[in-house]
Amino acid sequence: MKISVIGAGNVGATTACKLAEKDLANEVVLVDIIEGIPQGKALDLWESAPVEGYDTLCTGSNSYEETAGSDIVVVTAGLARKPGMSRDDLLEANTKIVQSVAENLRSKSPDAVIIVVSNPLDVMTYVTWKVTGFPSERVFGMAGILDTARFRSFIALALGVSVRDISAMVLGGHGDSMVPLPRYTTVAGVPLAELMDAQTIEQIIQRTRDGGAEIVKHLKTGSAYYAPAAAAVEMVEAVIKDNKRILPCSCYLQGQYGLSDVYVGVPAKLGRKGVEMIFELNLSAEEQAALRKSAEDVKSNIAKLKL
């Protein structure tokens, strides 16, 4: 099993580290355009192997030659947000970067499953799918897991309980119009609405939508990377182990939820072939309208591109 991580910034390097420590592959290849960065970080990871006890070979490169024949590729390449920027502000610059990445992956790893992390997430996943020409089940994006993790973490803080006992679902695009679903959220099986009032739930929903911006505001010179990397690795593990996890991912819709020709966050079954099934939840009229609005926001950004 060979996994390549494109982009050796904070998200990419942390993803490579977590992949190695979980011993999910024989080799993890870290690629970046900046000379020395992927080589140095990969060597550092390999030198930690004797201490951590993993045998995953870590290599770094400025070329895509070393990625040839990858089984899974995680795309993190692109500019990170700065204070005052929205994810959509990265659209033009990151489209050019992701287009180049997708062209290289198409030729070097034609059978790979691709997981996109670059922002704006849903649009960059669409770009990757369009440029590679791969089946849509092999190209999907990390967003819903991250957004759901943030939602769960804030609920845990509010209730003073373990995050492990909270089950939640966040749909829609990875942006301000994402759709957390309190109706499908439980704490040890107890519906969330029975444990906190509507105003508190709404405050948590808003903090979830602002979760990335909150971190950007603190960091000032970058954006989140621990949680995004953890979410991406959870997806990789589901594919490698073929364990049919049901996870919220940015998937290409072809009629599901009444939406077509758009990537947006929905619950999906992940296995060795990638997205093996998209689950359609029974949404209320209000939830469906919110999801449609979120998908329209993604489509409006896709329409700005010349693909």
Distance CA 264, CA 252 (A): 7
Query: Could you tell me which residues come within 8 angstroms of residue 48 by beta carbon, excluding any fewer than 6 positions away?
Result: none
Residue 137: how many CB atoms within 10 A of its CB?
18
Distance CA 241, CA 24 (A): 9
β-strand 113-116 against 179-180: which pairing, if any? unpaired
Q: Give catalytic residue positions.
A: 174
Containing H/E element for 67?
none
Which of 90, 88, 101 lies closest to 5 in space, CA to CA? Answer: 101
Distance CA 114, CA 209 (A): 25
Distance CA 304, CA 297 (A): 11
